[in-house]
Amino acid sequence: MAPAIEAAPLNELRAVLGNQIAVDAYRAGTQPFPDGTVLVKLAWKQTPSTEFAPATVPGAATTVQVMVKDQKKYAATGGWGFGRFIDGKPVDAAQHETCWTCHEARAKAQDYVFTRFAP
């Protein structure tokens, strides 16, 4: 749905994908996102392309991050449940609590979602 670059110290390339509910909401401009919306962000270290010097491509995978909308279950965090995985395993509670703090402070105008639809 949308790629992104994350600067130093992370130096990551990212791709945010959504399920059909998410894509439909983005296309229609529906805000807030409906229950059942799932957004997944894949992240890799930036690596120079070996075949084409001007390009930078995905290297080692770093994290997988998830947002799930359920207004009842996650009422305390804007209706969003947050997940962060490294090597397929969820990180600890302290790391998870940092998600909402930043999304609440910076992305409230877009239902706490940073990613815009890139058609």
Which residues are near its own copies by CB under 8 A?
2-7, 10, 13-15, 42, 44, 46, 49, 51-52, 54-58, 61, 102, 106-107, 114-116, 118-119
* Residue 67 beta carbon to its own copies: minimum distance, rounded to whole angstroms: 15
For residues 86 and 118, which CB has a smaller minimum distance to its own copies in the complex? Answer: 118
* Residue 20 beta carbon to its own copies: minimum distance, rounded to whole angstroms: 16
* Residue 5 beta carbon to its own copies: minimum distance, rounded to whole angstroms: 4
62-95: buried (b, 16+ CB within 10 Å) or exposed (e) per residue?
bbbbbbbbeeeebeebbbbbbebeeeeeeeeeee
17 sits in which H/E element: strand 12-18
14 sits in which H/E element: strand 12-18
